[in-house]
Amino acid sequence: MKSKTSKVSLITFIGMTVALAASIRNIPDVAGSGWTMFFYMGVASLLFALPICLIAGEFGSAFPEKGGPELWVSNSLGGSYGFATSWLLWVQMFPGMVMVASALPPLLATAINRESLGNNNIFTLIVILVVYWIITFLNMKFDMAKITGQIGAWAGIYIPLVIMTVLGIWAVIKSGIHPSSILGNFSAGKLLPDPTDMKSLAFFSPIIFIYTGIEMSSVYITRIKKVSYYPIGVLVTLVFMFVLNIVNGFLEAAVVSSSKIDLNNIVQPVIVYDKILGLPSWIANVFSILVFIGVSVQLSAWASGPGKTIISSAQKGLYPPKFKFWKTDRFGDSHAILITQASIISFFALVYLLIPGINSAFLELVNATTVLYCAVYIFMAIGFIKLRIKQPNLKRPFKVGNTFVAWLIALILIATIIIALVATFAVGTLKDFIIVAIISAVLILLPFWFVRIRKDSWTPEVKKLMAENDQVSKKAEK
């Protein structure tokens, strides 16, 4: 079906990119790392996020069609790897979406002055299910990608960010860096991680993966007025995310003690700021409501984003036609995919009924999603270099330096990913490593098995069904 959506401006595209990637929910992780936050954020920004943005920018300008990472990897490494990429981008979001949505119940509980509900498993499950299914149906009825880029990002990200930053600066000016806070007394040695303490690496991976998904706005590249807006949009988002996290992470770490910090509660620093400044508690309530909107906006953006890579694969006949993953609405979304992923995410959310609190098994699944996403970035890095070698004259409106620079960027990204993953497992147990390794290996290899069992008849059948669907749509429009 032909899309009826209008082209978006650079400002709107930046808003859409921010809605997909930026969030203030990661600030406690930055704060928890203390003075090493500057080192970790610098490494994350320069050696992880920047290479991803540059690689995605060149890919996106060379192939300004729908498909994003799946299209890029297909054109550089082949169809099998492209299919694996779309699969990995999709399956990693199931436990990951539950993890993101788990921030909603404490926010809602604080907003209604019932903080204890935030630790109630049944309340947590109900909030996750209700919010995500509402988001799913909204994506089936409205152009939520554009709405969240223009409105949701302001209500849920920018305004709460201003509130948190202003209150934080005001509180720190008034009280200074508290001696018992995470920062405590400054010394130059605190700026770098302690090489003799493996636990000091615990915050490395969470900070590195603040930027995970920054390239996902590539699925909207065909809707931008100019292709050149894409690299500008992701780079602006990168700078915005760095400033957002480093400033507010520092402010929180200056007044909250390491023994009291709650990494899952973004409202905590605002409550502390209110107490230092003698301000009314309703400020934290309003802040909670706004952040609730922000997290919901991010969930909404992710509900339609990764699914578009599955649509691209389905329209090539890589999934059984009867699944109807190929069929899209006027916004370019597949209702079959939206319903399927909402159902699977609901299944993952049931962990809150079966297990008290956040069980280690669930955290191992979340670690596995990290590995899956990293596999996509490694595919992109390898494909980026291979395309430079095989098609050096390919038109690239946005090009990342010469061949040497391209190799350097790709190798830096791969090396950073390996170090981050090693750090993740170094602070865990052997059991954690084995479980995550098995889950990751199975899910990474599974799409290659799908390719082997695929039937050649699926492609012509899908093309026929798409043609019939277009004819029905044209008749309905008349």
Confidence of residue 2 (pLDDT cuts 50, 70, 90): very low
pLDDT of 219 above 50: yes
DSSP line for 52-99: HHHHHHHHHHH--STTTHHHHHHHHH-HHHHHHHHHHHHHTHHHHHHH
Does residue 276 or residue 433 have the better pLDDT? 276
29-64 pLDDT, tens digit each: 899 889 999 999 999 999 999 999 889 888 988 887
Residue 12 in 3-state DSSP? Answer: helix
Are 398 and 61 in contact, with CB atoms under 8 Å apart? yes
Residues 6+ apart with CB under 8 A from 236: 14, 17
pLDDT, one tens digit per residue, over 162-183 is 999 999 999 999 999 988 899 9
More confident residue, 88 or 304: 88
Output the pLDDT for position 52. 92
Residue 3 pLDDT more than 50? no
Task: Count CB neighbours of 264 within 10 A.
Answer: 15
Give the whole-angstrom CA distance, residue 350 versus residue 126: 10
Residue 40: per-residue pLDDT: 92
The answer to whether residues 473 and 1 touch, using CB atoms and an 8 Å cutoff, is yes
DSSP 8-state class, residue 150 = I
Nearest to 216 by CA among 264, 136, 148: 148
Does residue 186 carry a pLDDT above 60?
Answer: yes
- Write down the pLDDT at residue 358: 41
